[in-house]
Amino acid sequence: MRFDVNALIAVLIVVLVTLSSTRVLDDYVDDYTDESIRNAALTYATARGINGLVSVLQSTEVEAGVIVSGSMTIGEVLDPLNDMIERFSSVMAWVLASLAAQKLLLLLASHQLFLYLLAVLGITSLLLIFYGRSPAQNLVFRCFLVTAFLRFALGLVVVLNSGVDTLFLDQQLRDNDREMEQFQSSMLGRDMAADADSDAIEDTVIAFWRSLSLDELNRKISAGIENLINLVAIYLLKTIGFPLGFFYVALFFIRRLWQVDLRPSAVQ
């Protein structure tokens, strides 16, 4: 029984050391993280663009096409959307900070120091498992586990997260990003502002929003808010929720391996 356990641990050590030296995982994780940062930055930029248009409209006293009681300005109607965009921008700032921190930690974990240290500890652990009788077997193996965890944990979390993205989130994220871009275009009056002179764009946008009824305004703003809420949920799951969950799973397996006793005296 002891030999079977040692053999499985030896295979695990060889696989981890080999994977560390090839750096295939590092390249994939680096590309995925860069793409995630670019996509999040584009979404953030689109949101800030919408915020700018809202600010322009709120700075005017354009009356809605339908008056419920007295004079209802577009600025009042746009207040919920403006509040949602501000909250969305705050969330996206945290998302970008999380992705940047992941990028930095991945760069540190792929440093040559970890590659050499993991290889030395791995080879030493193999020698002690099959040829050694030293009481330091567990200590060396656990040092190897700590080093391997630092080397691979975040990378494996990113790989698992990318798999979940591909299966469940990517299409939804693309659809919501596209809807946000369409919403930004619709705020400009669809194609009304495309042919306008730069000095006349503001007047064109105001004229478009003046032409909408209150019901149309509410429907348009509700659609924009719903789209922002969907993006918040997706990005929180993608960059914070799922990575923390996968990290906890990786930590669970490391703790189980930590309990393995390699000393000959532990043979049952």
pLDDT digits (tens, 9 = 90+) for 217-247: 778 888 888 888 999 998 988 888 888 888 8
Determine the average pLDDT of the residues in 81-104.
89
Is the pLDDT at 10 greater than 70? The verdict is: yes
Report how far residue 155's alpha carbon sits from residue 250's, in angstroms, rounded to the nearest whole number.
11
Between 206 and 143, residue with greater pLDDT: 143
Q: What average pLDDT does the structure give for the chain?
A: 79
CA angle centred on 183, ends 179 and 187, rounded to 5°: 170
Q: Which of 64-73, 207-216, 223-232 has the lowest mean pLDDT?
A: 64-73
Q: Mean per-residue pLDDT for 251-266?
A: 72
* Three-state SS letters, 179-210: HHHHHHHHHCCCCCCCCCCHHHHHHHHHHHHH
Segment 14-37 shows an average pLDDT of: 87
Burial (CB < 10 A; 0-12, 13-18, 19+), residue 171, is exposed
Structural domain span for residue 171: 2-266
Residue 126 has pLDDT above 80, yes or no: yes
pTM, full prediction? 0.76
Please give the tally of structural domains in the chain. Answer: 1
